[in-house]
Structure 1
Amino acid sequence: MPPRARPLSPDDRLDQLVDVTLLLLREHGRAVTTKQIAEAAGVAEGTIFRVVDTKEELVDRAISRAFTPGAVVERLEEIDPTKPLRQRLVLMTSILQQRYRATFDLMRKVGLVKPPVHDSPEAELWRARLAELMVRVVGRDAERLTVPPQEFCHRLRLLAFAGAHPHISDGHYLEAEAVVDTVLGGLLAPFARSETVAITQDAACS
């Protein structure tokens, strides 16, 4: 039997139990039991029901936490702005895709067909912070782009999401390096790109 957890305030205990429940949901899905949660948290099973009324309430809180990008934000904040642009973008994309894949796996485990609605002011703040940090990763290299950095990051995130989704990608995942190279350089060879520019200019003049 694991050692008993140290005493915590009700709010801190709930926070701990939500984290433990989320880890167990990734392994067992909704079949996880309060006994398993209690053992993993190092508490008596009755302790759970001092902070929540039902197991379902704890499960719902854990699932909601999984869609809060706190850990992603922290990791993006740690990206070294002095590294080359491509290296920064690959790291950022890797962080995003790890998050997406973990989310898709959790949704499959718990039987979710779509993410829960997050329209609270707190959720809006998280989304704004995430968008801000992505632009910050681009940094001064934004002047090298043909679109505003916000649009660049939007396209990068869309491709990262699609490349990490098991159904959208048909199981052929698009890794971070491929996502970044596609967004940075496109897929046309240099000579073909020049021809396309010329055709576009001719069409505009006609």
Structure 2
Amino acid sequence: MPPRAAPLSPEDRREALVRATRPLLYEHGRAVTTKLIAEAAGVAEGTIFRVFESKDALIDETIARAFAPGDVLHRLDEIDPGLPLRERLLAMTSILQQRFLAIFELMRALGAVGPPQHLHDRPEIVTGLEEVRRRLLALIEPDADRLTMTPERVLHVWRLLTFAGSHREIADDDLLTPAQIVDTVLHGVERTDG
């Protein structure tokens, strides 16, 4: 039996359970047991049901948190807007690719082919993803006069290539590197040497 957990507020307890559940979902998917979750969180199994109505409710909350932008916004804010465009795009690609890889791995573990429908009901996720888009666009816009497409269109093409190049099934298990993605977006694939 695990040692008795320190008293936490219901919100702090929910947070601790979500944090403990996320890595277990990668390993067990939805088949994870409340016993495993309780052990990982260092609480008694019944504690879960004091703050979540069911195991499914805990799993759904954990999945929603995984899809929320999380630290992506902070990491984007750390990109120096004074860097050359290619360097900014490389940093952006690394951040987004790491996020996509984590999300795709979670979806694979859950046996899902797309994000759960209930995420569209979460305004904080919709708003957060729009904020990610806004910050990405702000990192491209300073070079608008050097681009053959609008910054919005460059962002769209870059995101599509980053998404597809980061998805093992779409990329035939041959993931693109951030440099390959960025150089394809910036320079295309046609030789210009002769």
Q: So what's the TM-score if we normalise by structure 2?
A: 0.90
Moved over 4 A (4+): 1-5
Which ranges of structure 2 fall in alignment gaps of 5 or more residues?
A: none
- Aligned pairs for 1:1-206 (under 5 A) are 4-117=4-117, 118-120=119-121, 121-190=123-192
Report the RMSD for the aligned CA atoms in angstroms: 1.9
Instruction: Give 3-state SS (helix, strand or coil) of 2:71's partner.
Output: helix
Distance (whole Å) between structure 1 residues aligned to residue 178 and residue 2 of structure 2: 39
2:36 is aligned with what amino acid? Answer: Q
Instruction: Give 3-state SS (helix, strand or coil) of 1:108's partner.
Output: helix
Instruction: Give 3-state SS (helix, strand or coil) of 1:114's partner.
Output: coil
- Deviations 1:81-128 (Å, cap 9, x if unpaired)? 222221111111011111111111111111112211333333331122
Distance (whole Å) between structure 2 residues aligned to residue 3 and residue 178 of structure 1: 50
Match of 1:196 in 2: none
Distance (whole Å) between structure 2 residues aligned to residue 64 and residue 123 of structure 1: 8
- Aligned pairs, number: 192
- Deviations 1:21-64 (Å, cap 9, x if unpaired)? 11211122222221221222122222111001211111111112
2:186 is aligned with what amino acid? Answer: L
On the 8 A contact 1:131/1:150 being kept in 2, the answer is no
Distance (whole Å) between structure 1 residues aligned to residue 158 and residue 2 of structure 2: 44
Distance (whole Å) between structure 2 residues aligned to residue 51 and residue 148 of structure 1: 48
2:179 is aligned with what amino acid? Answer: E
Q: So what's the TM-score if we normalise by structure 1?
A: 0.85
